[in-house]
Amino acid sequence: MWPYHSELLATPVPRYTSFPTAAEFAPDIGADACAEAIGAADGDVSLYVHIPFCEKICWYCGCNTAAANRPQRLTSYLEALHREIALVAALLPAGARVRRIAFGGGSPNALSPADFLRLFDELADRFPVEDPIVSVELDPRTLGAEWGLVLAAIGATRASMGVQTFSPALQQAIGREQPLRMIEHGVKLLRGAGVTSLNFDLMYGLPGQTRADLAASLELAAHFAADRVALFGYAHVPHLIPRQRRIDDSRLPGAEERFAMAALGHAKLVDAGYVPIGFDHFALPGDPLAQAMAAGRLQRNFQGFTDDAAPVLIGLGASAISCFPNLLAQNEKNSGHYRMLLSQDRLPVALGKARGLDDRLRGAVIEGLLCHGHARVGPALIERAWERLAPFVEAGLCDIAGGSLALAPHAVPYARGIAACFDPYRQHSPRRFSSAV
């Protein structure tokens, strides 16, 4: 189904959850610029709340998270987070309305149910919340029965579970052991709590993983009727993520086998009735994500492909990123520094990037290619991108006609590479990204 061009997949490329990407963030964007952007936010606003803790740290994970093994660490972090909520909410103008709240991490259920409820109540009390869509990322290994009551109480209708693989041997190889019964329990609990859109995160390219292993996990995901599946290729970068050194990289599949796994995953999920979303998401036809795809409303933000049309996303918590039309801003990653800044009643912004007109035009092209498979591109921009774009055109992976660039149906694994042709920062950035597939 997909042609294999190794030379066109050789260069690591960003996932483009923003443009410019976080690799271009710099310390010249600070608290004042972010405060000004928050003060100008009007209309619909979405919130993302980052909980950088997990009960157990998985070896593969590249998230900003730490072990929740010291109660005082969580208590002091929550104190700072509540202070940030108060500061940010006070800056929002009267015309803003919060219609989405997403909790991620880490694992939000690393918090106690009582602390999580207090956090949600603080958000609802401080911000102008109007019938929000609430989503939560969850670790099935620590999903006790009390969390069903919590999710029902806050009206959460969307949830994501980190499944990764159903194979016990592979779970052991990546430091994430969770028997099938845990997933069964989690699905039952979440459905009973009112979750109508349930996502499973799955991975390919794991050490010792075979295509049969992947096929079995995909079949189980369909059996559990997950409304969405995010199928990610494992990125092994132990020089950046020291915990990955515990993974036996001698057993990692090669580039061509990873490609075959990605193709298998796409085919299996489509055969199971899922709609392919972008380059690595899938959703059942009745899910809001598939409906957004069909209606041409699909977008991309720091949480991946989304049906969220809000022009402003405010990130709360250590390392959280806020997105405004003309500005991207990231909070301090180190939780200690994050707490220190908030103890002085300062917004904890550490890095960011102003988005000029050229950035916004290029960002629209990149988002259009990744979300819809096509984008309007002016001749000047095509000319500037041509040197890198030409090999993809010559391989029949995309076509330029009538001022529009369109991806071929079989170009899914090359979408990020084609999008990167319009990213001028990639010509000189030393930052290493994940492989395209």
62-98 per-position pLDDT tens digit: 777 777 767 788 999 999 999 999 999 999 999 999 9
CA 235 and chain centroid, separation: 14
Average pLDDT, the chain: 95
Query: Given the structure tokens 């959850």, which residue do they identify?
Result: 17
- Structure confidence at residue 122 (pLDDT): 98
Average pLDDT value for residue range 159-169: 97
Both tokens of 214, joined, read: 């992947």
Report the candidate in 327, 314, 335 with the shortest Cα–Cα distance to residue 356: 327
* DSSP structural state of residue 200: E
Answer yes or no: is pLDDT of 430 > 60: no
* Structure letter (DSSP) for residue 377: -
Whether 318 has a pLDDT exceeding 80, the answer reads: yes
Mean pLDDT of all residues in 349-356: 97
Whether the pLDDT of residue 357 is over 90: the answer is yes
pLDDT at 295 over 90: yes
Q: Give the pLDDT band of residue 427 (cuts 50, 70, 90).
A: low
Question: Which residues share a beta bridge with 280?
Answer: none
User: pLDDT band at 207, cuts 50/70/90?
Assistant: very high
**Average of pLDDT values for 208-220?**
98
Instruction: Read off the pLDDT of each residue in 10-23 and give the average, rounded to a whole number.
Output: 94
Q: Would you state the pLDDT for residue 191?
A: 98
**Average pLDDT of 231-253?**
92
Token readout for 237 is: 């970068």
Q: Tell me the C-alpha distance between 433 and 437, whole Å.
A: 11
* CA 423 centroid distance within chain: 20
Q: Answer whether residue 431 shows pLDDT above 60.
A: no
Residue 178 has pLDDT above 50, yes or no: yes
pLDDT of the residue at 63 = 78
pLDDT given for residue 66 in this prediction: 76
